[in-house]
A = this chain, B = another copy of it.
Amino acid sequence: MQDFQNVARELAPVFPTHSRWNGLTAASTSALMRTATMINLNCGDQVNSGLGVLISGVLSVEKELSDGRRALCVLFHEGDLVDLRRTERARQGNLIAIKESEFLALDEDQTAAWIAKCPDIAGMFIAEFGEHLARMRDHVTDLAFKTPLECLASVLFEFRRWPGVRLGVLQSGAFRVPISRGNIADYIGVKPETVSRAIRQLEREGLIDIPEPDQVLITNIPAMRCLANGGRPRQSTRKN
């Protein structure tokens, strides 16, 4: 009840501006809000709810192995629908916050009912899912056959597309890398050392600039794009 009131009272500022959630009808929005609970998360916190909308920050589905290997198999940014409801699979992984975040958790049963009742809510879920599937296909492509340098270029472009990471326009496209190097490594399936070396190399070659440790400016966009699309395959082992 209290949560409901908190959320409903300031309904307008809940969803990030320009997020597609603002396209819902007022009725659907308030219906969803009635099932919602806002959760504030610190970096590293695990999220118990598997359904909701990320208002700000970064969440990730983390999978760990007993020997310490760790993968971040999805990243969620602000405005994303988070839906991990299908848990019948073996190792589902944990939903964790990668930085301080605000998560609008939705009640699973009530939301399911609203999906059935409101076509626009169902359409929103379908649109979000389609977007996430496309994103994951890209990510799988990166992981499957790209070298670390290419992966890094690709993931930098991905971050650059995120809302809220762009710095002042005067900086001509510099943006804030929203997650740590270690997490980037776990996301692209390499070790932190490799990420560090790859970033150095991109910088040495003049493709990117690192004004601050957590900021990136892509100085040679065509070359980086080419790299992200597979411009640097593994070199031949043939002698001469």
Contacts and interface: CB of A to CB of B under 8 A. Distances in A.
A84 B129 CA distance: 11
| Residue from A125, A137, A144, A186 with most neighbouring chain B CB atoms (10 Å) | A144
A167 interface: no
B65 A230 contact: yes
Interface residues of A, number: 52
B134 A71 contact: no
Interface string A122-137: 1101100111111111
Contacts of A90: 138, 229
A133 B94 CA distance: 15
Contacts of A11: none
Contact of A229 (B91, B133, B145, B186): B91
A37 B143 CA distance: 35
24 contacts: A61-B137, A65-B233, A66-B230, A67-B233, A70-B145, A71-B140, A71-B141, A73-B140, A73-B144, A83-B130, A86-B131, A89-B134, A89-B135, A91-B229, A115-B123, A129-B129, A129-B130, A133-B133, A136-B140, A143-B189, A144-B186, A144-B187, A144-B189, A145-B189
